[in-house]
Amino acid sequence: MEVTISRQLASKWLKTNALLTNPYIARHIPSSRLFTPTNLRVMISRFGMVVVKPVCGAGGIGVIKVEKIGRAYKLTHKSNTRTFSSFDGLIRALNATRRKRAYLIQRGIHLARIGGRPIDYRVKYVKGNGMWTYRSMVGRLAKPGLFVTNLCRGGTQMTAAQGIRRSLSSKLVSAKKREMRQLTNAATTLLESRYPGVGHLGYDYGIDRNGHVWILEVNTRPQ
């Protein structure tokens, strides 16, 4: 694959913008902006909870949750939480973690939970002999105390059916699995037309408390 294309595929921001060009897919992409203090202020007042993450990142590293609680701001990174009474204090703390790297701000999704722990889903879609096939669809339950579900951060794997049944309802299992497959098909067609040569995709899907399916990110070289 061309170097320019593989560089672009490392960027969660560019992949998000590519996916937003399709209105069907766009309904499943959490609103996102590049990190600036102004954008953060706007996003927090609009959504109440946001996730701030590196534009080029993986493994849940550097993923930070920010919530507005009354007039204060609560920041969660790994299993630590800190509360700031001023927006400036919050920005100083985020800048210390960011260290000039590009971050994006994403609407925080209230993921459905099992025993208080959020769960999301990884769908692996792979191209071989010119054909795309599903390699797996699994649920990943966050380690107690964390909001990120990444397996390398101690997340627990289970079947997608088990995850949907235990976090939402057994009635939703087939419909939500179907929705994730349909979104995967559509998003892959779009990404392949933009970035010819992609052959290995890992979709991270969140399902919120109301059952809405969200694409949290698309990995172009999933582990």
The tokens for 155 are 């997340």
Residue type at 23 in one-letter notation = P
Tell me: does residue 120 bind Mg ion (CB under 5 A). no
* Contacting ligand ADP within 127-166 (CB under 6 A): 148-150
* Contacting ligand ADP within 76-115 (CB under 6 A): 106-109, 111
Distance of alpha carbon 40 from alpha carbon 38, whole angstroms? 5
Select from 15, 28, 60, 183 the one that contacts ligand ADP (CB under 6 A).
60
Residue type at 68 in one-letter notation = K
Q: How far is the CB of 53 from ligand ADP (least distance, A)?
A: 5
Q: Which does 73 bind (CB under 5 to 8 A by kind): Mg ion, ligand ADP, none?
A: none
DSSP reduced 3-state for 20: coil
* Contacting ligand ADP within 180-219 (CB under 6 A): 204, 206, 216-217
**Residues 124 and 134: beta-carbon distance below 8 Å:** yes
**Residues 83 and 74: beta-carbon distance below 8 Å:** yes
- The mark string for 178-207 relative to Mg ion (x by CB under 5 A, - otherwise) is --------------------------x---
The tokens for 67 are 């919530």
DSSP reduced 3-state for 73: strand
Q: 114: Cβ–Cβ under 8 A, 6 or more apart, which residues? A: 141, 163, 166, 167
User: Is the Cβ of residue 60 or residue 73 nearer to Mg ion in the bound state?
Assistant: 60
DSSP reduced 3-state for 154: coil
Query: If you search the block for the tokens 């990943």, which residue do you land on?
Result: 140
Helix (H) or strand (E) run with residue 130 in it: none
User: Is the Cβ of residue 151 or residue 190 nearer to Mg ion in the bound state?
Assistant: 151
Select from 20, 33, 48, 57 the one that contacts ligand ADP (CB under 6 A).
57
Sole window of 81-89, 96-104, 134-142, 209-217 interacting with Mg ion (rule: CB under 5 A): 209-217
Write out the residues near ligand ADP by the rule CB under 6 A.
Answer: 30, 51, 53, 57-61, 63, 106-109, 111, 120, 148-150, 204, 206, 216-217
Write out the residues near Mg ion by the rule CB under 5 A.
Answer: 204, 217
